[in-house]
Amino acid sequence: MKITTRMISVFLLSALLGIAIGGYRERTSSAYASEPAQDAVYLDRRISTLEMRLSTIESSLRTLEQQAMSSQRMSQAQPTRDPETSLLRSQVELLIGRLRELECGLSHLDERTLSAAAKEAQKRVSGPSTDPCRFNPETPLQLSPRR
């Protein structure tokens, strides 16, 4: 019973994540087509919204990881491997990968919208960036397809 509710939770989280990403893609593509020059306030608000969504996803992932760890401890006593646990583990790994892609996209967007003065100040404070998500900010974002 517990495994089924966890699997439903993972599925719902995946669905919500897919809907959020789909909405983000639609909004960004229509925004670029209609308004080539976006104002900083609008972009700041979008970044804040994305950060809030990411923190919510991270929190959900931490909860799922904790549940997986606790179920793993319990399943170590059982000699056979539960297929539902394997499925949950693979779904958590997929969600972690999507989270990394979204964080990279957020860094990409941040780098794209920073002013030249802010970029210079950031380079002086932390040195040149080694983050691969910040190297080519003008290239389009490439997210993996939904599964």
Q: What is the pLDDT of residues 111-125, one digit of tens each?
A: 888 888 887 887 788
Any idea what DSSP says for residue 133? G
Report how many domains make up the chain. 1
- Backbone phi, then psi, for 29, in 5-degree steps? -70, -40
In a domain, 14, yes or no: yes
Largest CA distance in the chain: 60
In a domain, 112, yes or no: yes
d(CA 7, CA 113): 38
For 33, the domain range is 2-123+130-134
pTM for this prediction: 0.40
In a domain, 147, yes or no: no
In a domain, 15, yes or no: yes
In a domain, 93, yes or no: yes
- Tens of pLDDT, residues 90-142: 999 999 989 988 888 888 888 888 888 887 887 788 777 777 777 777 777 77
In a domain, 143, yes or no: no
In a domain, 145, yes or no: no
